[in-house]
Chains A and B, each alone.
Chain A
Amino acid sequence: MLDRLHDTLETFATFTDTADRTSLLLSYADLYKEVPASVATRPFDRSHLVPHCESEAYVWANKQPDGTLKLYFAVENPSGVSAKALAAILDRSLSGLPPSEIAQITPDIVEQIFRQNISMGKGMGLMSMVQAVRSLAKAVQ
């Protein structure tokens, strides 16, 4: 089940102060790791580009021998801090789960994670990142 994601969302729910939530988001952004060259190299295949994301984020979902998925991300915009934070959260919360479980995530987790830290232009792109992960998971179910 999506226990790790729920735990993460519960953690964010306890951070009601804007500054504290910002620090938590930045700590996740610092954990962001770009897709390894063994999976994809530049120029990245545009089919992995997340639509509507101004941070120019790419996502891959590779099936592992045990049937679970491993998520990889690339965020090309150096100012894409929010996208990097979300990439790290999604990877840590969802990688290792079967596609059928990952396919259950919904874009509303973006609001739960970012709340007042979400900016107008970021919201749509971040929700598209979640939607892209969901679509990839559905495709390989």
Chain B
Amino acid sequence: MNNNRSMKDIASRGYAHPEALVSTDWVAEHLHDPNIRIVESNEDLLLYPSNHIPGAVQVDWTQDLNDKIQRDYISAKAFTALMSRIGVTPKTTVVFYGDKNNWWACYAFWVFQLFGHTNARIMDGGRLKWEKEGRAMTREVPSYAATKYPKVTRKDAPVRAFKAQVLKHVAAKGQLVDVRSPEEYAGTRMHMPDYPNEGALRGGHIPRAKSVPWARAINAEDGTFKTAPELVELYQKTNGLKKDKPTIAYCRIGERSSHTWFALKYLLGFKNVKNYDGSWTEWGNSVGVPIEK
């Protein structure tokens, strides 16, 4: 019954694609569903080993999703190997959750879209809500039989923007969303508050980008996404973003902006939104690109 009520709550928020979210109740009732794979993705590598949702596997953004040598995501071959290791087939519904209000869960979700695994969801509220509700957690690391995931091709174009595209987008006066902190946007700081400076040589933002820090899309008390009317107010009314115009979101390395990408694409139904993962660590170091302060 709780499951129905909480999923109805998500359905009642007016999202364009409410099916992209599942509730903690829903997850609790599908812990043993063989068609569901629960995936935890965190920034803090100690969190999953310390405890996690029973049956959940870990997908780590550095170890599993990023290429070890060059700045890029894993190859299609590595992705199929990852899917095999965590026991996922194309028919498996992958439910992501994690720390920091699902920031890294959305990042993993976005990377999965590069490989076309659209059968994916985000657990609304993430690890914070699960913990606050006092739900079961374990240190037991599950083991699933390896699957044979079919060969895939990585298709960046639908969801990923590169610097050259962003330059054209800027020249065409396209809309951009800068999801970093206001201080980073203003160029008064080169990194997130309390995070190390990762070496951008210039501060500021991409011309005409709107400043909408990513966390404004969530309710701080439980990490759930705000309702569609609240998101419309934030992105469309206050900041003038149009859902039918091509939109590029960026941050520092593309992780915070994947959270905003998710909100714009799935919750508000923006037709063409991409994540620029080169973000400020590329733009702020590039020679000759336009910058505003």
Residues of A bordering B, CB below 8 Å: 22-23, 25-26, 29, 52-54, 78-79, 81-82, 85, 116-125
Q: Which of B43, B131, B192 is in CB contact (< 8 Å) with A119?
A: B43
A-contact 0/1 string along B126-137, CB 8 Å cutoff: 011001000000
Apart from A23-B49, A79-B44, A82-B46, what 18 extra A-B contacts exist at CB < 8 Å?
A22-B45, A26-B46, A26-B50, A29-B46, A29-B50, A79-B99, A79-B128, A119-B42, A119-B43, A119-B45, A120-B43, A120-B195, A121-B43, A121-B192, A121-B194, A121-B195, A122-B43, A124-B194
Give the contacting residue for A120; candidates B49, B50, B131, B196; CB below 8 A. Answer: B196
State A22–B100 Cα separation when bound (angstroms): 20
CB distance from B50 to the nearest CB of A (A): 4
B residues 160-177 touching A (CB-CB < 8 Å): none
- 16 residue pairs from A and B, CB less than 8 Å apart: A22-B45, A22-B46, A25-B46, A26-B46, A26-B49, A26-B50, A52-B194, A53-B194, A54-B194, A78-B131, A79-B47, A85-B46, A118-B45, A121-B44, A121-B100, A122-B43
Complex CA distance for A61 and B12, rounded to whole angstroms: 52
Distance to closest chain A CB from B72 (angstroms): 19
Contact in complex: B46, A81 (CB < 8 Å):
yes
Residues of A within 8 Å of B50, CB to CB, are 26, 29, 81
Q: Which residues of B contact A29 (CB under 8 A)?
A: 46, 50
Q: Which residue of B lies closest to A128 (CB)?
A: B194
Instruction: List residues of B (2-52) whose CB comes within 8 Å of A's CBs.
Output: 42-47, 49-50
Supposing A78-B131, A79-B99, A79-B127 touch, asked if A117 and B196 sit within 8 A by C-beta, the answer is no
**Whole-angstrom CA separation of A81 from B52 in the bound complex:** 13
B44 touches A81 (CB 8 A): yes
Q: Which residue of A lies closest to B255 (CB)?
A: A120
> In the complex, A26→B46 CA distance in Å?
7
User: A112 vs B44: C-alpha distance in the bound complex, in angstroms?
Assistant: 17
Shortest CB-to-CB span from B126 to chain A, Å, is 11
**Chain A residues within 8 Å of B195, by CB:** 120-121, 124
**Known contacts A78-B131, A79-B99: A125-B194 contact under CB 8 Å:** yes
* In the complex, the 4 A-B pairs of residues with the closest C-beta atoms, listed nearest first: A81-B46, A81-B50, A52-B194, A119-B43
Closest Cβ–Cβ distance, residue A76 to chain B (whole Å): 13
- The residues in B between 204 and 219 inclusive whose CB is less than 8 angstroms from any CB of A are none
Cα distance, A53 to B127, chains bound together (Å): 19
- Chain B residues closer than 8 Å to A125, beta-carbon distance: 194
Pairwise interchain contact B194-A117, C-beta atoms closer than 8 A: no
Contact among A54, A81, A116, A120 for B47, CB-based, below 8 A = A81
B6 to chain A minimum Cβ distance, whole angstroms, is: 22
Give the contacting residue for A124; candidates B47, B99, B100, B196; CB below 8 A: B196
Chain B residues with CB below 8 A from A119, complex form: 42-45
CB neighbours of B99 from chain A (8 A): 79
Provided the pairs A78-B131, A79-B99, A79-B131 are in contact, do residues A123 and B46 lie with their beta carbons within 8 angstroms?
A: no
Contact with A along B186-227 (1 / 0, CB 8 A): 000000101110000000000000000000000000000000
> A23, A26, A53, A122: which contacts B44 (Cβ < 8 A)?
A122
A120→B198 CA distance, assembly (Å): 10
A53 to B194, CA, bound (A): 7
CA distance A62 to B222 in the complex (A): 36
CA distance A23 to B141 in the complex (A): 13
CA distance in complex: A124, B197 (Å):
10
Distance, CA A23 to CA B46, complexed state (A): 9
Q: Which residues of B contact A25 (CB under 8 A)?
A: 46
Task: Determine whether the beta carbon of B46 is less than 8 Å from that of A117.
Answer: yes
The A-contacting residues of B in range 70-111, CB under 8 angstroms, are: 99-100
Alpha-carbon separation in the docked complex, A54 to B194 (Å): 8
Nearest CB on A from B98, distance (A): 10
